[in-house]
Chain A
Amino acid sequence: MAEIKKVAVIGAGVMGAAIAAHVANAGIPCVLLDIVPKDAKNRNAFAEGAVEKMLKTKPAPFMHAKNARLITTGNLEDHLNLLADVDWICEAIIENPAIKRDLYQKLEGVRKPGSIVTSNTSTIPLATLLEGLPDSFARDFGITHFFNPPRYMRLFELVKGPQTRDDAIAALAHFGDVVLGKEVVRCKDTPGFIANRIGIYWSYVAMSLAFKHGLTVEETDALVGKPMGIPKTGIFGLGDLTGIDLAPHVNASMLRLLPATDAFPQAFEPEGKLVRLIGKMIEGGYTGRKGKGGFYRARGKEVLDLETGEYRPKQKAALDSVNASRKGLRALVEHGDKGGKYSWDLLSRVLSYAASLIPEISDDILSVDRAMKTGYAWKFGPFEQIDQLGTRWFADRLRAEGRPVPRIVDVADGRPLYKEEGEKAYYLTLSGDYAEIPVADDAWSLADKKRGKARIAGNRGASIWDIGDGVACLEFHTKMNAIDADILNMVKEAANLHKKGYKALVIGHDGDNFSVGANVGIALFQANVAMWPVLEGGIAEGQNIYKALKYSPFPVVAAVAGMALGGGCEITLHCDAVQAHAESYMGLVEVGVGVLPGWGGCKEMITRHVLNKKRPGGPMPPLATVFEMISTAKVSTSAAEAREMLFLRETDAITMNRRRVLADAKARALAMVEGYQPPKPVELNLAGASGKAALDIAVEGFALQGKATKHDVVVSGAVARVLTGGDKDITEVTTEDDLYALEREGFMSLIRTNATLDRIEHMLTTGKPLRN
Chain B
Amino acid sequence: MSRKLLETDGQEWVEKGIITPEQHARLLALYPLDTHAIGLLPLLGSLLVGLSALSLVAANWQGLPELLRLGLLLVSLGAAYMTGEYFYRRGNDQVGLGLIALGLILFGASIILTSQLYQLIGYDLTGLLAWAVAGMALTWLYRSRLLFLLTAIISGVVQGYNTGQLGAFSYLTAAFTALGLGYYWWRRPDALTGAVLATGLLWQSALLVSYLHIKLTWFFVPAMLIYTLGDWQPYRPAARAVQGPPLVAAFLFTLGLALFGEADSYTDTLRPPLLAYLATLGAVLALSLWGKQRRGRLSSATDWLLLLPGFYFQGGLALAVATLVVLYAYSGAVLVRAHQEQNQDRITLGTGLFILTTAVAYFKLTWGFMDKSLFFLVGGLLLLALWWYLRRRASRTAAASSSQQV
Partners in one complex: no
- Contact surface of A with B, Cβ cutoff 8 Å: none
> Could you tell me which B residues sit within 8 Å of A by CB distance?
none
